[in-house]
Structure formats: C-alpha cells, structure tokens
C-alpha cells in the first residue's frame, strides 16, 4: 500500500479517529508526524489534524508549508490544522481565553464542494481555544457558526480548513464533509479487506521464507486472525497456547477445538498451578500483573526456545502509540531480561507483525475474509492477565471457580437472548467482601458478584448497556441458585471514564 490519504498528527486525541473514518469511507489512510511529511510518498490528499497546543506557543508544532504546497494535492486543516494554514497564508489567529468544547452549529454559506449536501444548520463538535481573527487576502468563508465566526474556510484551490471535528459522531454530518473533501483527490487509494488480505499473505510469504515462525495464541481475535493468516500463507509455524490458570470456564479446550476446526494444531501448555503459586498472597493489582507477565514470558520462551521468527499481533493503534498491547511483550509492565530478548529479536528483524496496519474492526473483517467462524472474530475482548483483573484482592482457586461459573451463566444468557453481539465486552467479577444473606433458614456470609456489560468502539470510552430487566433478573436468579459462595448479584452501571472497563 504505497499511496495514502496522509493524516498529519498535531497531537489531537482524535487523530487516529480521522484515519479510521477515512478507511470507513473506503480509502487507505495512515498517520504521520509533522516532520514526516517527506515520508508520505505521493499521497492523494493530506489532512492536518487538530491538537492541544496554541499556534502562538513557542515551539508550537509546524509543517514544511512550501513542501506541502508543492505536493499539489488537496489539503484539509482541522482545528489546529486550520489555524496553522491560516497563518501560513498570511492571516492571523487570536489566542482564546477560554476553550470552546462541545456542540455548536455550522451554517454553510457557499455552494462549494466541501460543504455540499449539508443541512442549512448542521450540528458540529468543537474542541479548540484559538480562533481565526484575520483572514488573508483571497480567503473565502465557506461556513460560520451562529455568532458569525468562520468555521470553514478555503484559501486557494485545494486548501481548506474547518474549526470543528468531522471525525467524531457528535458532528452529525462530519462523514459527509470528509467524503466531500476526498472527492477532490485524484485516484485516491482504495481500501478493501479482500485485496488487502492478498497483500498480507504475499508479504508474509516474502518475509518468512523458509524460516519457522513461533506464534503465541490465546483464542482472542488478534492472535486468532494472526494464526489463520500465517496458516493460509503456508509458512512453517509453531502455535503455542499458554494456559495460566486464569482463563474462563472450559476456555482452553474450546480454543483448541476452534483451531482444530480450521485445520490448525496448537501446543497447549498447562502451567496453571505454577501461576497460582506465584500469585499466592498477592493483593496489589500491579504486582499481580507483574508476576503474571514475568512468568508468562519465562514459560513461553521455555517452550519456544530460540525461534527463527516471533509473530506478534500488534495492531495499528499500538504502532502509533509506540506500544505493543497486542503482543507477548505487552503482558509485562516492568523491566525483565526476557523482554530485552524480544526487543533484541525485533532489532535483528526476527519479529514479524503482519497486522500492524489494521485497526481492531479491520482485524475482525480480515478474520472473516480468511474464513474464521463468527464465534472467533466476534469474540469479546479478554485481558492478558485473564481473570486476575476480575478478582480484586488475593487470588484463590475458590474465587476463580466462582467467577468462572457466574461468568459462564451470564455470557450464556447474553448469547441465548441474542445480546452478545450487541455488547462490546461483558463479564462477571467478584467483589472481595462477604455480605450477609439468608439461605434456607440461616444467615449466610458470602461474596457478591458484579455483572458488567459495556459498549465501546475503541475501549478509550465506554458506556454501560441497558440490558432488559428480565435478562438481568434471570442471570441473578441462576447465579444465586447455581453458584456456591454467592448471595448477592449487582449490575455495574459505571461509564468509562471515570471507571475503567475492568475492575483492576
């Protein structure tokens, strides 16, 4: 994928979202830093993102304007990008004393392409502090807000700016604005998952050659799609699944069967007793994560040895953030010599990350194109530390058994009532406090279970799902009657933020 719609990142929290929206419109897009303009190749169009800085600040983000003009492609400045372009064309920007954040109204003034087809009054989403105070000669106001302040400009042919975020859903016709802008591009690069699949398969074959790849699998979407991609590429692979004893009910066996159903044989390594022993008496969340991460890396490489290549399910957001949340290395948050080994392998070109161009929803689409069953590609996210993050306090076999049984009941009901696919993530967590209850004719002092179901697009924010009372009542009744050690069931209606999706 050589040509792109290049998005220049000035630090906005929505920069990745612009890339996603462009791809949703069917065009290939990538994110670049301001200093990487000359690395964009021959983009079909350029979008300058918003950002938290002020153009008046010392060392504010900048761009090579002459190089940008010489590209000869359409350019759209969003918020900070618009303000920067206005200055470059000879206008001025006034630092604001208060930040404008939230909904506003766009009134299109021109019949030009950028705002073509928009309503007479269109809701938009603002997030900025500076404001355009003086327009350069020749600039045209394409749209303004209710206070007659310009929020859409054109400086010359091909150069546009908007003082709002078209990529967020709060801008109700934002996708139309982006679509209109991209219509100005000559031969924009198409993005279709079927053709991209063929591109990935060929890339894997070329990169791997005759070497052997070791691929860690967990049953999650990313590792499953990665495993199937390697399998379809026809390269030599060892698939290793480490059962750390923190999985859901019957999960290890189900994952093995799922892979067998598509012709993939995996090596199952059961080290659950070793992990539980390492976690005995530990209550601090970060310490639990550290111990799980350390031991996981040790076990994995004890089995894998010194592989020719290591495959990781790193996704595009991980690359952008210089993180590896989709990889084995991400399971550990502190320094460890085995992680150094992964970094050394990467430096030696012995780590392959075939999914690094894709977002999560695109990975699911790729899995479907590769023939993975919907039960795999539609699976809810599951954290690397497993049930450890759903068991606050000390982890014990008894507590894990309670969580597994309650979770199986809840997830089973969501599936049977056709709610599972409408939920981003759902689970049962144990509250480590014994509460008073009545069972039979006696008082009981047993644990409470918290059920959680959320919707999200990127896990950065999440809202709780308004499940039917009847479903929640049945889940509660089944758990209270079928799971020993529980006498109370709660439903978590916390949003993220301020709460997180998981408990720990």
Active site residue 79: yes
Structure tokens at 38: 């000359």
Spatial separation of the C-alpha atoms in residues 191 and 201, rounded to whole Å: 16
Q: Helix, strand or coil for residue 351? A: strand
Active site residue 380: no
Active-site option among 167, 251, 405, 446 = 167
Spatial separation of the C-alpha atoms in residues 75 and 167, rounded to whole Å: 16
**CA angle at residue 262 from 419 to 259, to 5 degrees?**
70
- Contact partners, residue 48, CB within 8 Å, separation at least 6: 8, 10, 63, 75, 76, 77, 78, 80, 81, 82, 84, 85
Asked, as a colleague might, if the bond just before 222 is cis with ω within 30 of 0, I would say no
Count Cβ atoms within 10 A of the Cβ of residue 131 and give its class: 0-12 exposed, 13-18 middle, 19 or more buried: middle
Active-site option among 128, 144, 165, 244 = 165
Spatial separation of the C-alpha atoms in residues 453 and 494, rounded to whole Å: 10
Active-site option among 79, 144, 446, 502 = 79
DSSP H or E stretch at residue 467: none
Structure tokens at 500: 């997180």
**Residue 444 and residue 487 in contact, taking contact as beta carbons nearer than 8 Å:** yes
The set of catalytic residues is 79, 165, 167
């Amino acid at each position: 994928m050589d040509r792109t719609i290049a998005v220049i990142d000035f630090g906005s929290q929505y920069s990745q979202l612009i890339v996603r929206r462009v791809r949703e419109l069917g065009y290939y897009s990538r994110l670049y830093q301001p200093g990487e303009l000359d690395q964009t190749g021959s983009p079909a169009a350029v979008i300058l993102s918003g950002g938290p800085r002020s153009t008046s600040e010392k060392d504010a983000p900048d761009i090579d304007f002459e190089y940008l003009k010489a590209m000869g492609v359409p350019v759209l400045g969003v918020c900070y990008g618009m303000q920067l372009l206005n200055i470059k064309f000879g206008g001025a920007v006034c630092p604001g004393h208060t930040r404008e954040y939230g909904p506003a109204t766009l009134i299109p003034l021109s019949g030009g392409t950028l705002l073509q087809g928009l309503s007479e009054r269109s809701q938009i989403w603002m997030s900025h502090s500076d404001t355009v105070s003086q327009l350069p000669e020749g600039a045209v106001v394409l749209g303004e807000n209710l206070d007659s302040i310009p929020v859409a400009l054109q400086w010359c042919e091909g150069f546009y700016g908007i003082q709002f975020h078209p990529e967020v859903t709060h801008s109700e016709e934002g996708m139309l604005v982006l679509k209109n802008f991209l219509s100005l591009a000559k031969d924009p690069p198409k993005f279709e998952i079927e053709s991209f699949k063929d591109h990935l398969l060929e890339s894997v074959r070329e990169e791997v050659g005759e070497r052997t790849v070791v691929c860690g699998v967990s049953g999650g979407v990313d590792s499953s799609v990665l495993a199937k991609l390697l399998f379809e590429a026809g390269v030599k692979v060892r698939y290793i699944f480490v059962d750390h004893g923190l999985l859901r009910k019957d999960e290890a066996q189900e994952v093995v069967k799922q892979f067998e159903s598509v012709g993939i044989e995996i090596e199952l390594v059961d080290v659950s007793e070793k992990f539980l022993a390492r976690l005995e008496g530990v209550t601090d969340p970060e310490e639990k994560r550290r111990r799980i991460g350390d031991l996981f890396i040790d076990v994995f490489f004890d089995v894998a040895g010194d592989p020719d290549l290591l495959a990781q399910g790193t996704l595009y957001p991980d690359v952008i953030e210089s993180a590896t949340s989709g990889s084995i290395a991400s399971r550990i948050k502190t320094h460890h010599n085995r992680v150094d080994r992964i970094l050394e392998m990467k430096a030696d070109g012995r780590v392959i990350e075939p999914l690094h161009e894709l977002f999560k929803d695109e990975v699911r689409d790729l899995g479907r194109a590769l023939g993975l069953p919907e039960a795999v590609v539609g699976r809810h996210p599951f954290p690397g530390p497993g049930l450890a993050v759903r068991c606050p306090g000390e982890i014990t076999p008894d507590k894990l058994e309670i969580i597994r049984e309650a979770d199986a009941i809840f997830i089973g009901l969501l599936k049977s009532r056709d709610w599972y696919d409408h939920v981003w993530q759902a689970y049962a967590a144990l509250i480590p406090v014994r509460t008073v209850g009545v069972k039979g004719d006696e008082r009981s002092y047993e644990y409470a279970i918290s059920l959680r179901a959320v919707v999200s697009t990127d896990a950065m924010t999440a809202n709780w799902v308004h499940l039917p009372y009847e479903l929640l009542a049945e889940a509660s009744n089944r758990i209270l009657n079928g799971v020993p050690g529980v006498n109370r069931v709660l439903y978590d209606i916390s949003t993220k933020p301020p709460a997180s999706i998981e408990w720990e």
